[in-house]
Structures are given as C-alpha cells and as structure tokens.
Structure 1
Amino acid sequence: MSADVGRAAEQVARQSYGKLIAFLAARSRDVPAAEDALSEALASALRVWPERGIPDKPDAWLLVAARRNLMQSARHRTVEANARTTISLALEEAEERMNEAGNSVFPDERLKLLFACTHPAIDSSVHTALMLQTVLGIEARTIARAFVVSPQAISQRLVRAKVKIRDAGIPFTVPPRPALPERLVAVLSAIYAAYGLAWDGLDGEEAHQSLAAEAIWLGRALLSVLPDEPEAMGLLSLMLHCEARRNARRSGEGRYVPLDEQDTALWNAKMIAEADALLRKAGGFERFGPFQCQAAIQSVHAARRLSGSTDWQALTTLYAALLVMKPTLGARVAEAAVIGRASSAAEGLVRLDRIDPRAIAAYQPYWAVRAFLLARAGDNPAAADAYVTAIGLSDSPAVRAFLADRLEESRRTISG
C-alpha cells in the first residue's frame, strides 16, 4: 500500500466517519452494524485503491461500499422483511444520489445521531463518550484517557449503549421542544468535550485541528436548528473565542505560550468579533447559563487585545457565577488561578486547599496552577515539587517543556 493511499483513506475516515455513520445508522437504526459496515468498507478501500487509484469522491465510494456491507449483513440476520426493504430503498436512493454526476454531497445527519445518543433510555453517564465515538469517530482509548477510566471499561459501556439504541428502537430525530432542555445539555456538553480534546491535543496538530473544526461545525448546525437557544449561542461563542487564539498558543519553535503571554496580534480578530456578537445576542434572551458564562470569561481575556490588560476582577465575578451554575473541578481550579492574580497567591492557594484531595491526585491543571501560585507566594521548594507532579501528569511535550523551564526557575531561586 502506498503512503499516498494510506493518507487518503485516513483523511476520508477522519473527515467523513461521523457523517457516514449517521447517514447509515439513521436508516438502519443499528449503530454497531453501521460501524462494522463502514470498517469493512475502509478495509476494502485499502485493498482496492492502490490498484484502481483513489476515487474522485472517496466518501461516496465508502458510502456505497458500506451500504452493500450493511445489506449483506442484514441478509445474514433474522430481520423483518419490511425493515429490510426500508433499509434497501433508503440506501439505494443514497447510492443513486451519490453517483449522480458532480454530486458529492449527502445529507449530514449527525445532529440526529447526537440526540439519539442522549435518549433517556441510555445511561446518562455514557452520553458524552457515546457521542464522541459515534459522531466524531474518536477512539475508545482516547475517550478513556479524557474520562480517566480504562479503555476496556469505556468500550464495554459504549457497546451496551449502541445495542440499546438498536434494541429499543430509539429514533434518530431532533426531539420536540418540550423534551429539548434535558437532552440539549448533554448534546452541548458532548460537542464541547470534542472541542476540548482538540484544544488539549495541539501536539498532533492536523488531526486535532480537524476535530476542532468538526466540533465548531456541530455547534453551528445545532444553532441553525435552535436559533433562539442562548446556550447554543454561548457554546459556539466559547469555541470561537478559544479557536481565535490557536495560532498564538505555540511559538515559532513550537513552545507552549500561556494565555497571558500570548501575542494578541496573532489572535483572529474576525472570529473574536463573531464570538462577541453571539454572546451579546444570547444575553438578549435573559437566560444566562454556564456556556454563556464560560464564553464571557473568554471574552474578558479577548479584551486584552484592545485594552492591553486583563480585568482580573471581572474574571473573579464570572467564575463565582460559573461555580454556582456548574461547580466542576476545572472551574474551581481556574477560579483559584484567577483569584491568585486578582487578589493574592495566598488566597488562590486557600481555594485550591478546599478541593477534595481525592479529586486532584491525577488532575494535571491543579498541580500546574498550584506550582504557579506557590512560586508567586515565594515557596519555591513546594512549587518545585508541584511542578514535578504537573510535568509527570502532562501528555503534551510542549507543556512539559514549558513546566520544566518553570521548575528550573524555582530550583535556581532555591539554590541562589
């Protein structure tokens, strides 16, 4: 297999996986079968493309191949004749549409799959992981690392959830308005979790940039379906504010640059303007929620581009509001960091000390913030110990190098 063919297959898989799964599963009502059919299609591509060349519309080729695999699988299972006919007609229509001259577009039904994954019949603890894998094609081991569980445990939960979708006949639809609020929270959280994986994984730049773009696309698609939902606006605003700083998060040499040291000239002004416009529009509905609050926090940081300084007191107020609505570990650690800048390092450390020790043992941001505040407070021996822990818990080479430099500064201060 040539390297070009391998890269082409990998690119199509990454860019079209969720879209293809959603299209197939929405018609077959069987997520595991759709995944198996697409996996076989990808394997076929790696066998066939080196001989015949990469097709002009590789995603169309994969959909047709997956459709055939799905039908073959259906013939080997005991299914109702009318269900098989429905699958056949829907996918025959898809094949015809895909093969029309010049047409490489098929319906993107990932939002339907997102809402299927948050159905009340499915254990809420697996909603986000299920959406990350089925809609965006993220591997179980990556999801397991993000949720701090074993790959085996998360794989078993995902398999059970997918079987539940099939056996319970869960519909692939955006639910009616009365059922939206509870389901919407899970969808918003899953989209943001996908963006978070991209944000944390900048060392694998191309793949993670693609994931970030997919998450933002899903945010836009959700807002197009729910144009009057302020939290959907807040989520999109939040992601755009973060994405606007992508080019400033690494130096020309690839070194990590913390937010307050970033060159604001490298921030995307157009993206920031769109994010702030969304936030203002969301505010008009007078239903302030956690995603709007997080977007407002990022907007305060973005204002440094114009003012030249960061309003730490405003950030303190916003984090206090966020913790009332959503008291997550990440929010509590971030609030301590902000208080350490707005008030004193000692006060920030007091906030960190209030967090349950069992929750922070393997939480890298806690140790990085603790090390930073200890250094500001002048306790360099303790700061050095915290930096060592933070370095050991970081998956990013760039972040580890940055923290190692801070560790060396603390050690020099001790010896000097």
Structure 2
Amino acid sequence: MDDPRRAAEKAARASYGRLLSILAARSRDIASSEDALAEAFLAALRSWPSAGVPRNPEAWLLTAARNSARNTARHRAVVDASVADLLLLHDEAAPEQPDIPDDRLKLLFVCAHPAIEEAARAPLMLQTVLGLDAAQIAAAFLVAPATMGQRLVRAKARIKDTGLRFELPAAEDMSSRLSDVLDAIYAAYGTAWDAVAGADTGQQDLADEALFLSRLLVALLPDEPEVRGLLALLLHCEARRAARRGPDGSFVPLKLQDTRLWSHEMIVEAENELIAASRAAVFGRYQCEAAIQSVHAQRAITGRTRHEALAVLYGLLADRCPSTGVLVARAAALVEAGAHRQALDLLLGLPPASVSRYQPYWVTLAHARAAAGQRSEASESMQTAIGLTEDAAVRRFLADWRMTP
C-alpha cells in the first residue's frame, strides 16, 4: 500500500493546478476553490491512513473538494449560493476527468484578463494553475514576497468581484492576453530549472507541466510565432538537463557540459519549432531567446560556441525587452566575447535595488571584473554571489572558482 502522506504530496505536486482549475471554472472564485482544495487534502490525510489510498487519488480529491465547496455555499447567506450549489451538483454528475487540460487553459487566460492588474497576471497563473507559493513567485519576478502576496490577494478579489467569465477569449482578444500566459509558463519552467535529477522535489513535474502547456498552446494557436518560440526555448533548455549535474550531483556549467548527454531528439524538435516560428518574420522575445539557445546547441556539432553571435542576439533582445535578467545575460555574453569593459559598464549601470539580491548579477560581475584585471573586486563579487546561492552544488562550484591570470 502506498504511504498516505507521500501519496497526498504526490497528488498535490502533480494535480493541484488541474484540480483548482476545474473547481474555479465552475465557482468562479479562486480563493474559495483554494480553500475547498485545502480541505480536501486535509481530509485525505485524515482518511487515507485508515481507509487506504484510493485507486484514483485525483478523483477522490476532486469529489472531496466539491463537497467542501458545496457545504460552504450552503452556509453562505448570499443570493447566488443556490446557483453555485447547482453548478457543483452538475459537476458531480459529470464523468470525473481531472486530466482534461481545457480548464487549466481557460484559467490561464482568465488570469490574463485586462481587468486584472498587469503585474499580477503571470504571478496569479503561477499560483492558481501551477501551484507555486508566493515566495517562489516573488523570487521568479525579483520582488519582495510580501509585495507579491498582496498582488495575488488583490487579483483574486478582482476576479470574484467582477465575475470574470471562465472561458477562452474571442480570437481577436487572444493575442492581447497571450504574452502574459507565455510569461507565466516560462517563469514556471525557470522555477523548475534547478531541480536535481533524482531528487524528490516535484520540480521536474513543474518542468513537465510547463512543456505540456506550451505544446497545448501550439496546438491551439499554431500560427502564433511566439508560442512556437517559447516551446523551442523550453525544448532547447530541457535537452540539456541530463548534462547539468555530474553523477555525484555536482553542478556542471553550460560551457563544460558533455554534449553527448544532450537530447538530440529535443534539439531537433526545438529547431523545427524555431524554423516554423521564423516564417512569420516577426520579432519576438521567445523566438530570440530560442535562437540564443540554438547557438549553444550548435556546439554539439561544431565543438565551439559562437560568442560573438550570442552577444549580437542578446543585444537585440536587450533593446526590445530590457529586463534585469536579460541585461545581465547580455553582459555575460559580452564577457565571453571578450568585451569585458562594455560588460562592466552595463552591469555597473543597473539600478542597485534591482540587482542587490540577484545572484546571477554578482556571478557575472565577478567574471567581468576578473577579465578586467580587478582581482580583489572580482573576489568580493563572487563572495556575494555565494552568499545568495541556495543550491549547495552551485555554491560548491562557485567556491572553487579561480580567476585566470
């Protein structure tokens, strides 16, 4: 028999977003759906140790959550309580299909509704559809957890108060919401990027979910080049997952990875998606980022990395999408291309508040300062980076860093 607690944790990691989407699609109240789902997981922890883990844990949790939501609705002295109750009863009579992706897709686009604060749209998707907590989301968007928590609370209240419809927008409105949806999927994948192979963290589940949703969007919107660009980007990154850690779990940076461990099938699929996207001849952030990863992938064939090409692509990306992460990545490409003075000017010109807790900034600054012969300053920057690094393997790698003369 499966361990009840582990079974509940596994269901939470793999199915939280799907279950919440199904519940919220009917109640149109994300907060109450979250409460109902939390009650369902508590009920599972009380029931499963004695009754055993059900054959279909997702269906059990969905039924328990619906029961909890229905009971809550019955105790509410509000006009629409009976309507909510009827909707829940209708769901109970329908076949259990917790794996159907449509409700998750609807919820993604609901969270991208123009009535919701722009800064909260992608974070709201990460919490409701992909199950991340406020601290993880805050880290992904480089803001304080308290600030992110407030945004999420306001966004959920906005959905409830305005009664936003849980359905795909009309074709003419789809593209205006698409950017936020793509940003959320990319942020979800980025959160899963540091998962260690074999570790039971649930992060690989999140990476798989991001890839699944990207493929789902390509099927829905095959003529949108940025949708294909995002899928190409994720595939290129995922192709290298097996090479990012050594057999002992040690961190292996991209330029030292064994290209024989890269997935040839994923790289080919990524290139096909990027080619299909390029036919539109329209610049897009995700197409550009996928092109950057394509340059890295060429090392498996040529044995070398064209750093000058990377610097040009990052320059184009920074001109169009000058986020902190993109600008730091551009500086890293400039260092590798031998333009360390230009990289230093770029890094030192960034607002201190935006980079003070951003670990990649300090790593890149250390490399730029080392290349410029500023050995003492480079060492100080690397120590700051080490202090901001949570992954023990990455921390050991940085601690072993030696400046080349």
Contact 2:73–2:81 under 8 Å retained in 1: no
CA distances 1:8-28 after superposition (whole Å, capped 9, x unpaired): 000001111110110111011
Work out which of the residue numbers 339, 344, 349 in structure 2 matches 1:344.
339
TM-score with structure 2 setting the length: 0.94
Pair 1:265–1:402, CA change in 2 (3 A): same
What is the distance in 2 between the residues matched to 1:93 and 1:284?
46
Match status 1:212 vs 2:207:
yes
What is the distance in 1 between the residues matched to 2:200 and 2:66?
32
Pair 1:310–1:55, CA change in 2 (3 A): same
Match status 1:223 vs 2:238:
no
Pair 1:81–1:180, CA change in 2 (3 A): same
What is the distance in 1 between the residues matched to 2:363 and 2:194?
15
* Structure 1 runs not aligned, ≥5 long: none
* CA positional deviation for 1:82: 5.8
Alignment of 1:107-186 (within 5 A): 108-186=102-180
What is the distance in 1 between the residues matched to 2:99 and 2:373?
60
1:272 corresponds to: 267
* CA positional deviation for 1:89: 4.0
* CA positional deviation for 1:346: 2.9
2:73 corresponds to: 74
**SS at structure 2 position matched to 1:114:** helix
**SS at structure 2 position matched to 1:254:** coil
Alignment of 1:302-321 (within 5 A): 302-321=297-316
Please give the root-mean-square deviation of Cα atoms over the aligned residues, in Å.
2.0
1:399 corresponds to: 394
* CA positional deviation for 1:190: 0.7
Contact 2:74–2:82 under 8 Å retained in 1: no
**SS at structure 1 position matched to 2:288:** helix
CA distances 1:87-132 after superposition (whole Å, capped 9, x unpaired): 13432233xx12xxxx775554111000111111111111121111
What is the distance in 1 between the residues matched to 2:327 and 2:139?
21
* CA positional deviation for 1:198: 0.7
Contact 1:27–1:90 under 8 Å retained in 2: no
1:262 corresponds to: 257
TM-score with structure 1 setting the length: 0.92
1:385 corresponds to: 380
Contact 2:225–2:278 under 8 Å retained in 1: yes
Contact 2:138–2:144 under 8 Å retained in 1: yes
Contact 2:73–2:85 under 8 Å retained in 1: no
Pair 1:388–1:81, CA change in 2 (3 A): closer
**SS at structure 2 position matched to 1:166:** helix
1:376 corresponds to: 371
What is the distance in 2 between the residues matched to 1:40 and 1:126?
26
Of the structure 1 ranges 203-212 and 293-302, higher mean CA displacement relative to structure 2 is found in 203-212
- Give the total of aligned pairs: 403
Pair 1:195–1:330, CA change in 2 (3 A): same
CA distances 1:173-205 after superposition (whole Å, capped 9, x unpaired): 221122122211111101101111111454866
* CA positional deviation for 1:225: 1.1
* CA positional deviation for 1:161: 1.2
2:329 corresponds to: 334
Pair 1:142–1:358, CA change in 2 (3 A): closer
2:83 corresponds to: 83
Pair 1:34–1:287, CA change in 2 (3 A): same
What is the distance in 1 between the residues matched to 2:348 and 2:360?
14
* CA positional deviation for 1:81: 6.1
**SS at structure 1 position matched to 2:202:** helix
**SS at structure 2 position matched to 1:288:** coil
Alignment of 1:281-300 (within 5 A): 281-300=276-295
Of the structure 1 ranges 270-279 and 174-183, higher mean CA displacement relative to structure 2 is found in 174-183
Contact 1:201–1:396 under 8 Å retained in 2: no
1:52 corresponds to: 51
Contact 1:333–1:352 under 8 Å retained in 2: yes
* Counterpart residue type for residue 69 of structure 2: L
Work out which of the residue numbers 321, 325, 344 in structure 1 matches 2:320.
325
**SS at structure 2 position matched to 1:109:** helix
* CA positional deviation for 1:50: 0.7
* CA positional deviation for 1:374: 2.1
Identical amino acids, percent of aligned pairs: 49
